[in-house]
Amino acid sequence: METIKIFSPATVANVACGFDVLGFCLDNVGDEMIIKKTTEKGIKITKIEGYDLPYATSKNVAGVAALALIEHAKPNCGFEIEIYKNIKPGSGIGSSSASASGVVFGINELLEKPYNKTQLTKFAMKGEALASGNEHADNIAPGIFGGFTLVKSLEPLEILELPTPKNLYATIIHPQIEVKTSEARAILPNEIPLKSGITQWANVGSLVHALHTSNYELLGKSLTDVVIEPYRKQLIPYFDDVKKEAIANGALGCGISGSGPSIFILSNGSNAAQKIANAIDLVYSKTNINFNIHISKINTQGIKIL
């Protein structure tokens, strides 16, 4: 294979209670990339459509992730990358992560898969670090593995794949404002009260149990974040109103997607997801902030070859 075209999906990190460890993958929102083998060694970004991002390999998230892979693989060829971005940078649904994970997935396919998914996650994290200032895998892992993932540890990198209940849908509202991950991390406290820790890890445990048992009610009750949301919600206009309307219209639960500004809502079935979308559309329609709403099944496959 000389060329590959892939779809690299958007992802939701944290999933309320699981800051920096939990994430899930969306199905119909994402970037496309075309990657070509070249005789000239190295990584060259030849096209970027959708958003204004740097072409210089060392300044581009995809470029840095690709470099991390080829520095390890030392292939006898190079790669040209075309990026068709649909996920707005700073949206909270894993824009940088989609670029970083897409490129390493694509190059790995062109090299006849020398690396497993955990190794690919590690390379992609180098790209993610360029965007957010630190290496975290909670957006990358669900893109590469699909479904729900839990980052058990970073050193050594250990990713757990969690089951996805069949009827689970996500509704995402993306207010068109930018929240930089680095800034959304800077406002967080270095220490948390023990009481909050207890609530939070009880919720992570019960969320994992709910995924394993397809217990939608428990899943909803576990989507509570007493550690991060109180700080970050101030960066997201009308967050409480969206949450209130979503719950009133049958949502299982709601939280900030990654570092925001997107908000995710989980529901049992596509009809419920649509009803919630209509309700939160009304909330934001009354404001002067532009927004998009996506409804997506959970994508259990992750990155797809087109």
- Catalytic residue selected from 32, 128, 229, 245: 128
Our finding on whether 258 is near ligand HSE (CB under 6 A) is yes
Residue 181 a catalytic site member: yes
Residue 213 a catalytic site member: no
Number of neighbouring beta carbons within 10 Å of residue 61? 27
Q: Helices 117-132 and 95-110, interaxial angle, to 10°? A: 140
Burial group, residue 71, by CB count within 10 angstroms (0-12, 13-18, 19+):
exposed
Our finding on whether 14 is near ligand HSE (CB under 6 A) is yes
Nearer to ligand HSE, 19 or 105 (CB): 19
Judged by CB under 6 A, which of 44, 88, 185, 275 binds ligand HSE?
A: 185
Taking the complex as a whole, the smallest distance from the CB of residue 164 to ligand HSE amounts, in Å, to 20
Task: Give the span between the Cα atoms of 15 and 148, in whole angstroms.
Answer: 9
Length reported for the chain? 306
Three-state DSSP at 161 gives strand
Judged by CB under 6 A, which of 5, 20, 241, 249 binds ligand HSE?
A: 20
Our finding on whether 200 is near ligand HSE (CB under 6 A) is no
- Whether residue 12 contacts residue 257, with contact meaning beta carbons closer than 8 Å, is answered with yes
The two structure tokens encoding residue 146: 């699909």
Cα 268–Cα 271–Cα 275 angle in degrees, nearest 5: 100
Our finding on whether 108 is near ligand HSE (CB under 6 A) is no
Our finding on whether 203 is near ligand HSE (CB under 6 A) is no
Judged by CB under 6 A, which of 139, 149, 171, 299 binds ligand HSE?
A: 139
Distances (CA, A) of 84 to 48, 58, 103, 176: 6, 19, 12, 19
Our finding on whether 255 is near ligand HSE (CB under 6 A) is no
Judged by CB under 6 A, which of 6, 13, 17, 210 binds ligand HSE?
A: 13
Taking the complex as a whole, the smallest distance from the CB of residue 42 to ligand HSE amounts, in Å, to 28
Piece of the chain touching ligand HSE by CB under 6 A; list 13-21, 65-73, 154-162, 261-269: 13-21
Task: Give the span between the Cα atoms of 68 and 138, in whole angstroms.
Answer: 19
SS3 letters across 219-251: HHHHCCCCCCHHHHHHHCCCHHHHHHHHHHCCC
- Catalytic residue selected from 181, 224, 229, 245: 181
Site residue total, ligand HSE (CB under 6 A): 13
The identity of residue 89, as a single letter, is: P
Judged by CB under 6 A, which of 259, 267, 268, 299 binds ligand HSE?
A: 259
Our finding on whether 225 is near ligand HSE (CB under 6 A) is no
Nearer to ligand HSE, 185 or 304 (CB): 185
Can you give the binding site for ligand HSE, defined by CB under 6 A? 13-14, 19-20, 132, 136, 138-139, 181, 184-185, 258-259
Catalytic residue numbers?
128, 181
